[in-house]
Amino acid sequence: MKIFEMNKSDAILFLCFSAAILAGPILLTPIGAGYPDLLQKFAIFGIFALGFNILFGLTGYLSFGHAAFLGVGSYTAVWTFKLLSMNPIPAIILATVVGGLFAAAIGFVSLRRSGIYFSILTLAFAQMSYNLAYSVLTPITNGETGLQLAQSDPRVLDAAFGRDYGAVLPSPDFFGISMSGYPGFYFCAIMLIICFFISMRIFRSPFGLMLRAVKSNQNRMNYTGLNTRPYAQAAFVISGMFAGLAGGLMAVTDPLAGAERMQWTASGEIVLMTILGGSGTLLGPVIGAGAIKYFENIFSAFNEGILMNAFSFLPESLQHLAVGITSLFVGEGWHLTLGALFMLIVIFLPGGLMEGFNRIRNRFLKRSGDGSGGTADTVPAAAE
Amino acid sequence: MDAILLQILNGLDKGGAYALIALGLTVIFGTLGVVNFAHGALFMLGAFCAVAVKAFLGFEKVTLDPENLTAWGTASEIRQPYIESWFGEFGTTLLNYSVPVSILITIPVMLLIGIVMERGLIRYFYKRPHAEQILVTFGLAIVAQEIVKSAFGANPIPQPAPDAARGMIDFGVAIGFEAGNVVYPAWRLIYFLFSTAIIAAVFAFLQFTTFGMVVRAGMVDRETVGLLGIDIDRRFTIVFGMAAVVAGLAGAMYTPILSPDYHMGMDFLVLSFVVVVVGGMGSLGGAVAAGFMLGILQSFASMNEVKNILPGIDQIIIYLIAVIILLVRPRGLMGRKGQMEH
């Protein structure tokens, strides 16, 4: 099929990516990230960031409300578990579809404006969803407690196929394979690989080129008599679907949905992940998502005891000073590190880690006497 | 009728805070062309100036009183703020009026913060895309917020209004309603008056001083003003400092109404941005008008009568208005052509 055709370097990239993701549990064990909960988060936020990147990286529209789609996806998935079946397949399909529909509605309104107005509009919609989920929509969202499964849920499809969970609270399972732990990770990982493939196809397609044209000069596109809005709208819906899927997967691995997932700080986090990795690049967002989740996990686990040990080589007075300063940045203060990182990246490396890698590589290649300097051409997706 | 008046009054103080923050945002946007997502953090820092002043004034000397025993049989403690033991009556008054007194500290502190922020960070972002400005100031806001959190803790810290302003004013009597119908906390009225005074001062400054004239000229055409031999960058730095002061004062005076915590800035920031956009980016009058309008609308939407008809409207009214305005009048209520059009 034509859609699966790709050139050699893309094929290699895709295979390496898939291999790296699937070998994640082995590859990441040496740095202390080889356990399923964290790996699931890597995969889920990788999908979320890939989707955000299709909008922000390609079209340049900065949405500050993407967490709303994630939240909607989570609620949909949990409701599917409650009403239809504990199988994750219908849950993630519905989560993707509902995320996409929600994005279509919000995008239809928000995309009438661009620049900062677009950011504010998406922010406004996300805050509205968040506030409503907390207040009036409590029958659907279960307010502050969060939406949970119950033993007495109908689960129509399960009942039709004669599946009975007995007197225990059911948990999502894929034809008998429980969706917690490593099976859950592999489920998410396969979704991530599929999403990566889709995102790659979009990047390489005429459609992707059109989205980039929207970013570089929308006016000029309009002057040529082309209506750019449908393209931006499509990108918005696609990224909403990715976010919905990510939200659905969150519910698959842990069947609980809360409104705090929709708060605008959550939207800010996904922006940060994409920027950190490198917006507009293929791999960047996944790397950014992984890096943030990894450091969040490592840093927030630190406490004074660990720090005291780490600085035990210093004389005692210096040790206390060092612990005092570093403890600002770890544990509870992890967000401080996050904010500082955010600033440093935007100030010094607006292209994200991918740009950093490219710079290092270019310098290295120049030193080794290659001299051509044309290495950037081999990576078509490199940030500009 | 009196119920409507009461809701208008209720909206005024919040509207005043929105208007002050939005005013600063607009001034910064109009002069420097920077979208400042850290403006809410400035509001929050101002509020914590008041907290710090209160804490500083309230340092207590603890003496043990062996005459009186507590229920546990230990000597009871007598706590007396140092400031009272040093200055007597005056110290007590100072402590009581800690929130208004904190203004004296807030102004220089916020001016310094604003100038350092502009010189140290913002000026490198004039030429960069708006998305990057948003992101870097967003990061700065998180940093400021987390520093405050580690210094003051995560819980809200209540700040009492001065005793004299703690009661209620029966506002209705003054304009001919029956007593007891339109009762309004005195401090909120003071806050409203305070915010209008600040707004008037900012407008007067921009309208009637030479400095203000240069700034307004710079807003229209920065390059020409520079060609006339005026160091416009320096003026704009001071303008940024002033915007920080306005936001800080709004925060410091707001503390008796809302106990400050580290994320109050973010909450207000989102709303203030909506206010700016509704008023029209770059329009000072629009920012002020939209601030008060949205504050009042919000208080109307939280009336029970309204909530019964449209449940949940109080939660979303501001965002809903913003969406409608942006779709009907894309430049906002008073936005002018050429501002923020790319």
User: Cα separation of B94 and B113, whole Å?
Assistant: 25
What are the C-alpha distances in Å from A275 to residues A198, A200, A264, A299, B140? 20, 18, 17, 20, 15
pLDDT 10s digits, B70-92: 767 677 777 777 777 777 777 77
User: Cα separation of B270 and B124, whole Å?
Assistant: 24
Q: Is residue A285 part of a domain?
A: no
CA B77 remoteness from chain centre: 38
Residue A57 DSSP symbol: I
From B132, B273, B316, residue closest to A132, measured CB to CB: B316
User: Cα separation of B137 and B240, whole Å?
Assistant: 14
From B132, B135, B146, residue closest to A336, measured CB to CB: B146
8 Å CB contact of A339 and B281: no
Average pLDDT, chain B: 83
Q: What is the pTM of this model?
A: 0.83
Q: Is residue A337 part of a domain?
A: no
Provide the pLDDT for residue B135: 84
Considering only alpha carbons, which residue of chain B is nearest residue A136? B312
8 Å CB contact of B342 and A114: yes
Q: Is residue A381 part of a domain?
A: no
Strand B75-81 relative to strand B60-69, pairing: antiparallel
At a CB cut-off of 8 Å and minimum separation 6, what does A291 contact?
A273, A276, A277, A353
8 Å CB contact of A271 and B135: yes
At a CB cut-off of 8 Å and minimum separation 6, what does B279 contact?
B22, B26, B285, B286, B287, B288, B289, B290, B291, B332, B333, B334, B335
Q: Which of A100, A128, A36 is nearest to B319 (CA)?
A: A128
- Structural domain including B10 reads 2-57+98-205+233-328
Q: Is residue A15 part of a domain?
A: yes
Q: Do residues B218 and B84 make contact, with C-beta atoms less than 8 angstroms apart?
A: no
Provide the pLDDT for residue B339: 52
Chain B residues lying within 8 Å of A343, measured CB to CB: 121, 136, 139-140, 143
B274 to chain A, any CB pair closer than 8 A? The answer is: yes
Q: Is residue B214 part of a domain?
A: no
Confidence of residue B336 (pLDDT cuts 50, 70, 90): low
Q: What is the mean pLDDT of residues B239-257?
A: 91
Three-state SS for B154?
coil
Looking at the DSSP bridge assignments, the partners of residue B69 are B75
User: Cα separation of B24 and B197, whole Å?
Assistant: 15
Q: What is the mean pLDDT of residues B224-228?
A: 88
B312 to chain A, any CB pair closer than 8 A? The answer is: yes
| Domain count for chain B | 1
pLDDT 10s digits, A175-216: 777 777 788 888 899 999 999 999 999 998 999 999 998 888
User: Cα separation of A110 and A278, whole Å?
Assistant: 25
Q: Do residues B234 and B123 make contact, with C-beta atoms less than 8 angstroms apart?
A: no
Chain A residues lying within 8 Å of B128, measured CB to CB: 350
Is 50 exceeded by the pLDDT of residue B47?
yes
Provide the pLDDT for residue A71: 92
Is 50 exceeded by the pLDDT of residue B112?
yes
Q: Which of B132, B32, B339, B280 is nearest to A60 (CA)?
A: B132
A→B contacts (Cβ < 8 Å), by residue, are 56, 60, 62, 109, 112-117, 119-121, 123-125, 127-128, 131-132, 134-137, 219, 264-265, 268, 271-272, 275, 328, 332-333, 335-336, 338-343, 346-347, 350
Chain A residues lying within 8 Å of B330, measured CB to CB: 112-113, 117
Alpha-carbon distance B18 to nearest alpha carbon in chain A (angstroms): 16
8 Å CB contact of A346 and B273: no
Q: Is residue B304 part of a domain?
A: yes
pLDDT averaged over 10-residue windows placed end to end, chain A, 384 residues: 72 89 83 82 92 91 91 91 86 93 92 83 86 82 80 77 73 76 87 92 90 86 87 94 93 84 84 87 90 84 72 76 74 79 84 85 74 42 40
Q: What is the mean pLDDT of residues B316-323?
A: 83
B329 to chain A, any CB pair closer than 8 A? The answer is: no
Structure tokens at A324: 């005092």
Looking at the DSSP bridge assignments, the partners of residue B184 are B169
Considering only alpha carbons, which residue of chain B is nearest residue A65? B270
| Domain count for chain A | 1
Chain B residues lying within 8 Å of A119, measured CB to CB: 131, 134
Provide the pLDDT for residue A384: 37
- Cα-Cα-Cα-Cα torsion A103, A109, A110, A113, nearest 10 degrees, comes to 150
User: Cα separation of B233 and A200, whole Å?
Assistant: 45
At a CB cut-off of 8 Å and minimum separation 6, what does A242 contact?
A47, A48, A50, A51, A52, A54, A99, A195
| Rg (alpha carbons) of chain A, rounded to whole number | 22
Look-up: residue for tokens 């969970």? A165
- Structural domain including A76 reads 2-265
**Number of A–B residue contacts, CB under 8 Å:** 119
Cα-flanking dihedrals φ and ψ of residue B64, to 5°? -95, 140
Q: Do residues A65 and A106 make contact, with C-beta atoms less than 8 angstroms apart?
A: yes
Provide the pLDDT for residue B204: 92
Best of B316, B325, B328 to mutate (most A CBs within 10 Å, chain A): B316
Q: Is residue B91 part of a domain?
A: no
B166 to chain A, any CB pair closer than 8 A? The answer is: no
Is 80 exceeded by the pLDDT of residue B191?
yes
Looking at the DSSP bridge assignments, the partners of residue B63 are B78
Sign of CA dihedral B156, B161, B167, B170: negative
Geometric angle at alpha carbon B215, from B34 and B342, rounded to 5°:
35
